[in-house]
A = this chain, B = another copy of it.
Amino acid sequence: MQAVLDYLDANYDRFLKELCDYLRFPSVSAQPEHAQDMAACGDWLLRHCRAIGLEAELHPTKGNPILVARTPRTVGKKKPHYMVYGHYDVQPAEPFELWKTPPFEPRVQGCNLFARGACDNKGQNFAHLKAVEAYLKTGTELPCDLTFVIEGEEEVGSKNLVPFIKSQRAALKCDTIVISDNGIPQKNLPALTYALRGIMAIEVKLTGPNRDLHSGLFGGTVDNPAMVLSQMLASLRDKDGRITIPGYYKDVLPLSKFERESFKRLPHDDTKYAKFLGVKALFGEKGFTTIERKSARPTVEINGLTSGYQGKGSKTIVPSWASAKLTFRLVPGQTPKKAQKLITAHLRKICPPTVKIEFGDNHGGEPYLVSPTSPAALAALRTLRLAFGKEPAVMREGGSIPIVVDFKKVLGADTLLLGLSLPDDNPHSPNEKFDLDLFKAGMRMGAYLWQELPKASAK
């Protein structure tokens, strides 16, 4: 193992140069004009994986190819199998004028490497490749089989990935999946993210009179769809920030004492947070901290409201209709299907006979939870302790990463989210960066992980 760590140290300058080469490809999956760059980036990655000793192939899809790279298998030896997921496509770099240096000309400044894709996801994923290179090039035996799946369409919805993993179900069957494509609270606080929120998005439209009516001639005799909508939406949340839909919290898994204690270690300051968001006062569910509210509790949000006249001045009408876009963040225990049923049934029930209710576009995503005290999670925490030399935290993430749920459904395996990105890394924004200290720590993390995880699988 020391040989692996020494190799990582000794070859760091080359690794940084290679990462810069990787980052020079403008592999923007959303923009058709970068189709050639996507292909060139995939080819570079294929050649790179082969060069470091992996058995790699590019699998064509209806969109961009998916790279699959395996460690050479030892014949006759049954080892645990892990999958590392990443993506070689990046977000569009626009607006270019806000970048201090060009997004596809990587630049090191202090301990930061600036480029589009630096943290999301090329840099984070590359650390895993380098750790495996160290095993393979030093002849150190890996106690496990590894498969890298690196796709080129994460930033455009990964729509070809699920059919692919379904078609490769046997080859990709694994004990655990590792993804480094998320964040940690601060540089000296490594963390395992063990849960994600799900989502249920619902559009509701209320129609009243068959046309906009003159509010002088008709006002007072017919219900106002915008008022009814306001009343219905207002009733969805009580003054304690709880969703009022009957039975809505029934399936919500309560936070354990261990989790709530663990969250206290995460750095957070309500005053600074409120200032950062520009609000005078925060608001959330009574009885929970801000950290808990934003990562581990159900929410209802109005994303948009539309009704009547929205131009300058006034138009004295009773509008014919009003609509709202809503998202409900779901937490482990809840399902989008059941949430949708509860929400729409409730909205129908509280809708008065003066308007007609209709539901428009909706989509859902499952929440995700892996126990933070499972053997795999404990192995990940040991790994972080070794790689960072710091006591790691466990945390939940408030957003959704749909692919994690798909992996669980198709491959039956849990995912360990071992992020290497910092809160100020600007993914999806101008001047994206990756902290090179975390690049180094990430490589060490990759190295230790393949020692620690097999111990968990053995149990």
Binding site for B on A (CB under 8 A): 197, 199, 201, 203, 208-211, 213-224, 226-227, 229-231, 233-237, 241, 273, 277-285, 290, 293-294, 297, 299-310, 312-319, 322, 324-325, 327, 329, 352-356, 361, 363, 397-400
19 A-B pairs besides A222-B279, A301-B318, A306-B306 with CB distance below 8 A are A216-B399, A217-B398, A218-B294, A219-B299, A220-B285, A220-B297, A222-B277, A223-B281, A223-B283, A226-B233, A226-B302, A227-B301, A231-B234, A233-B234, A282-B354, A304-B315, A312-B361, A314-B327, A316-B327
**18 A-B pairs whose Cβ atoms sit less than 8 Å apart in the complex:** A209-B277, A209-B278, A216-B398, A221-B282, A222-B279, A226-B233, A226-B305, A234-B235, A279-B355, A280-B354, A282-B354, A283-B354, A301-B318, A302-B308, A303-B308, A303-B314, A304-B309, A306-B310
A272–B218 Cα distance when bound, in Å, is 14
A250–B237 Cα distance when bound, in Å, is 32
> Smallest CB-CB separation from A307: which chain B residue?
B305
> Smallest CB-CB separation from A236: which chain B residue?
B227
> Smallest CB-CB separation from A312: which chain B residue?
B361
- Are A400's CB and B306's CB within 8 A? no
Pick the residue among B215, B280, B397 that contacts A301 (CB under 8 A). Answer: B215
> Smallest CB-CB separation from A315: which chain B residue?
B303
A285–B219 Cα distance when bound, in Å, is 11
Pick the residue among B241, B279, B308 that contacts A209 (CB under 8 A). Answer: B279
- Are A314's CB and B361's CB within 8 A? yes
Contact (A294, B217) CB under 8 Å given A306-B305, A322-B305: yes
- Are B237's CB and A279's CB within 8 A? no
A256–B210 Cα distance when bound, in Å, is 34
A307 neighbours in B (Cβ, 8 Å): 302, 304-305
A216–B220 Cα distance when bound, in Å, is 40
- Are A290's CB and B221's CB within 8 A? yes
A142–B231 Cα distance when bound, in Å, is 59
A312 neighbours in B (Cβ, 8 Å): 361
- Are B216's CB and A280's CB within 8 A? no
A308–B285 Cα distance when bound, in Å, is 22
A290 neighbours in B (Cβ, 8 Å): 221
A279–B228 Cα distance when bound, in Å, is 14
- Are A325's CB and B354's CB within 8 A? no
Pick the residue among B235, B302, B400 that contacts A224 (CB under 8 A). Answer: B302
Contact (A227, B234) CB under 8 Å given A319-B303, A356-B280: yes
Q: How far is the CB of A5 from chain B (nearest CB, A)?
A: 34
What are the 4 closest A-B residue pairs judged by CB atoms, nearest first?
A210-B278, A216-B399, A304-B308, A226-B302
A234–B305 Cα distance when bound, in Å, is 14
- Are A329's CB and B219's CB within 8 A? yes
- Are A227's CB and B277's CB within 8 A? no
A250–B226 Cα distance when bound, in Å, is 27
> Smallest CB-CB separation from A292: which chain B residue?
B220
A226 neighbours in B (Cβ, 8 Å): 233, 302-305, 324
- Are B237's CB and A227's CB within 8 A? yes
- Are A233's CB and B227's CB within 8 A? yes
A319 neighbours in B (Cβ, 8 Å): 302-304
A283–B352 Cα distance when bound, in Å, is 10
- Are A329's CB and B222's CB within 8 A? no
Q: How far is the CB of A225 from chain B (nearest CB, A)?
A: 9
Q: How far is the CB of A218 from chain B (nearest CB, A)?
A: 6
- Are A277's CB and B213's CB within 8 A? yes
Contact (A314, B399) CB under 8 Å given A301-B215, A303-B308: no
Q: How far is the CB of A118 from chain B (nearest CB, A)?
A: 20
> Smallest CB-CB separation from A209: which chain B residue?
B277
- Are B315's CB and A279's CB within 8 A? no
Q: How far is the CB of A259 from chain B (nearest CB, A)?
A: 16
Q: How far is the CB of A282 from chain B (nearest CB, A)?
A: 6
- Are A315's CB and B308's CB within 8 A? no
A297 neighbours in B (Cβ, 8 Å): 220
Q: How far is the CB of A93 from chain B (nearest CB, A)?
A: 20
